[in-house]
């Protein structure tokens, strides 16, 4: 259900962007998802396919770029990418004193629209 609300926001932004760019169809949406943001790719695509039916984004592909969180060991300084569940000890020195930052993003990076779209005629959503 988390993904449903998020996907509605993705679709809305994609349609607005396509409209402002004066193009017809949304072909793909590039998303940046932090590994700590708990967003499930398949679930977002599933809702997107349902919600986008009959809109200018119908059939668009969602491309996910996953960004890990970054752990830093306070004892040995080792830095490495992490995703949940977090390992309670540093893989280099086994210290439990770690700091994790980042990996919380959930962004639309860009949207790919059809160059030969509707050419600005009519309502792009009405296709």
The answer to whether the peptide bond before residue 42 is cis (omega within 30 degrees of 0) is: no
100 counts as binding other proteins under rule CB under 8 A: yes
Contacting range for other proteins; rule: CB under 8 A; set: 7-15, 46-54, 55-63, 118-126 = 7-15
9 counts as binding other proteins under rule CB under 8 A: yes
Yes or no: say if 38 and 106 are a contact pair by the CB < 8 Å rule.
Answer: no
Closest CA to 110 of 6, 8, 10: 10
Contacting range for other proteins; rule: CB under 8 A; set: 29-37, 48-56, 57-65, 118-126 = 29-37
Q: Which two structure tokens, joined as six digits, stand for 48?
A: 């997107």
Yes or no: say if 43 and 9 are a contact pair by the CB < 8 Å rule.
Answer: no
Which residues, 40 to 79, sit near other proteins by CB under 8 A? 69, 71
Yes or no: say if 69 and 81 are a contact pair by the CB < 8 Å rule.
Answer: yes
**Least CB distance from residue 112 to other proteins, whole Å?**
5
Chain contacts with other proteins (rule: CB under 8 A): 1-2, 4-6, 9-10, 12-13, 17-18, 21, 23, 30-31, 36-38, 69, 71, 84-88, 96-101, 104, 106-113, 115
């Amino acid at each position: 259900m988390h993904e449903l609300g998020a996907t509605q926001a993705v679709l809305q932004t994609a349609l607005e962007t396509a409209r402002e760019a004066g193009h017809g169809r949304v072909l793909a949406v590039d998303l940046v998802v932090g590994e700590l943001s708990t967003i499930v790719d398949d679930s977002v695509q599933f809702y997107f396919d349902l919600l986008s039916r009959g809109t200018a984004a119908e059939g668009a592909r969602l491309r996910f770029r996953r960004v890990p969180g970054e752990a830093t060991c306070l004892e040995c300084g080792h830095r490495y990418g992490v995703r949940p569940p977090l390992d309670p000890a540093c893989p280099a020195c086994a210290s439990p004193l770690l700091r994790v930052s980042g990996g919380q993003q959930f962004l639309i990076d860009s949207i790919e629209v059809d160059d030969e779209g509707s050419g600005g005629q009519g309502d792009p959503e009405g296709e």
